[in-house]
Amino acid sequence: MKIRFWGVRGSIPTPLSIEAIEKKITEALSLARPGDISSRESIDSFVRALPLSVRGTYGGNTAAIQVDTDSSDVIIIDCGSGLRAMGRQLMKSEFGKGKGVGNILLTHTHWDHIQGIPFFIPFYIKGNRFNFYSPVRDFRSRLDYQHAFSHFPITLDYMQATKEFYHIEEGEYFYLNDVSIFNMKMPHPGGSYGFRIEEKGRSFVFTSDCEFNIHEVDNIDKYEELFRNADVVVFDAQYTFEESIEKIDFGHSSGSIAIDIARKFGVKRLVLFHHEPEYDDKKLESVLSTAKAYMGMNAQKMGSIELDIAYEGLEINL
């Protein structure tokens, strides 16, 4: 399966400001030597060698993940503002011809996880079909309410693609061809769910919006079925460890907590996700370096976890 990140930010979209772009340009120029800008080829090479925090951005769109399975199923996890760009790309495939089939997993219906739905072009194309799955019992009515005329001028029913809504029980397994999907309730105000997707012995776990405080850590064994030996885990790390202590019951975790959980359950690759909207790209770079330092201090206990931080355009092949 292939996993692509279209939206990685938490809480609210955060486009780059003019000031932020100017800082990136200034820093890039300050690092350049005469030879780095002597030709177009040397400029391209210089830019590619710059860290992401200087040459680009981790991204400002909210949660949207695309999973393409080996059976050619398209699975979309959450529908934040990153869904808009995903939709433009999907329009280049069968979805642009009205022949696409997509499967959407909703972790919960907080605004930053559904705000991309009105701007997802494949929903407007007759002939496309989308199957929505969620353990949230009334998620169809919640999406209808998002599209009430007082909120948006186009109703969900007006979008001409076929849309089917399936409630799945908490802790239930269901299958798409050869793909197994398991869900588990996560600790988050208002409720949220993590998903484990397995195909051909490979496993991908998505756990955005979860707060593992002291109480949850003391009862961590109940999450074994979700996390155990996963090849890739995407985990909510919105806060630094210090902020997570200050913001009890805000519903989010830190990179150090994510690492501890990954170590306990034998996770192979951990991707930090749901970035704090106040964090700029330099801060996110430091979040990753701090997390790596934490792993280094506990190297004997940590094992060989591969650690990443999510950015728009990141692709992972399992």
pLDDT value at residue 217: 73
pLDDT value at residue 296: 82
pLDDT value at residue 97: 98
Buried-state track 151-185, b at ≥16 Cβ within 10 A, e below 16: eeeeebeebebebebeebeeeeeeebeebebbbbe
pLDDT value at residue 232: 98
pLDDT value at residue 211: 87
Question: 87, 122 in Cβ contact below 8 A?
Answer: yes
Q: Residues with Cβ < 8 Å from 9, sequence gap 6 or more?
A: 59, 60, 61, 62, 63, 80, 112, 274, 275, 277
pLDDT value at residue 206: 98
pLDDT value at residue 108: 96
What domains lie within the chain, and their CATH numbers? 2-14+57-317 (3.60.15.10)
pLDDT value at residue 133: 98
pLDDT value at residue 243: 77
Q: Residues with Cβ < 8 Å from 205, sequence gap 6 or more?
A: 194, 195, 196, 197, 226, 227, 230, 232, 233, 234, 267
pLDDT value at residue 303: 64
pLDDT value at residue 203: 98
Buried-state track 48-60, b at ≥16 Cβ within 10 A, e below 16: eeeebbbebbbbb
pLDDT value at residue 268: 96
Q: Give the pLDDT of the chain (318 residues) as one tens digit per residue.
A: 999 999 999 999 999 999 999 999 999 999 999 999 999 999 999 999 999 999 999 999 999 999 999 999 999 999 999 999 999 999 999 999 999 999 999 999 999 999 999 999 999 999 999 999 999 999 999 999 999 999 999 999 999 999 999 999 999 999 999 999 999 999 899 999 999 999 999 999 999 998 887 677 778 999 999 999 999 999 999 887 777 666 776 777 888 999 999 999 999 999 999 999 999 999 999 999 999 998 887 666 656 799 999 999 999 999
pTM, two decimal places: 0.94
pLDDT value at residue 17: 96
pLDDT value at residue 22: 97
